[in-house]
Amino acid sequence: MDNPSEETPLAEPTPESDLDLGETLDEESDTFHSRKNILRLASWANIISWIIVAIYLILFIARLYFDFQQGFEFSVITALGWLSYFSTLLIGVIWFVVLQGLAEGLYLLLDLFDTQ
């Protein structure tokens, strides 16, 4: 039998290959978000914001139209009614701004995570 005079060492993995594997595992375990789901949520927020502003604008125009059709008399109650109309429109605009801000914030967060 041949006995080697020198003992052959076991092949040890190189540090580069361990580092690459570790980075891949760390990247996967560090992400708690799904890019696809965040994009879908931002897209829905954008679409719903436009639908809401359109609905509130239609309600505002319809209320004005029906009041002018019935006749217009100026009084304190009519002035309060006008404030009610504009508050309806204001609520729609606020919802629009909030949902648009949510969508843009989600897009911004995705951009921040992509650069890391």
Provide the domain limits for residue 90: 34-115
Per residue in 5-51, pLDDT (tens digit) is: 555 555 555 555 444 444 444 444 555 567 888 889 999 999 999 99
Does residue 6 fall inside a structural domain? no
Is residue 102 predicted with pLDDT exceeding 80? yes
Q: Is position 100 within any domain? A: yes
Place of tokens 């909030």: 98
Instruction: Look at residue 115 and tell me whether its pLDDT is greater than 50.
Output: yes
Q: What is the pLDDT of residue 24?
A: 46
Average pLDDT estimate for 44-64: 92
> Number of structural domains, the chain?
1
Per the domain annotation, does 16 fall within a domain?
A: no
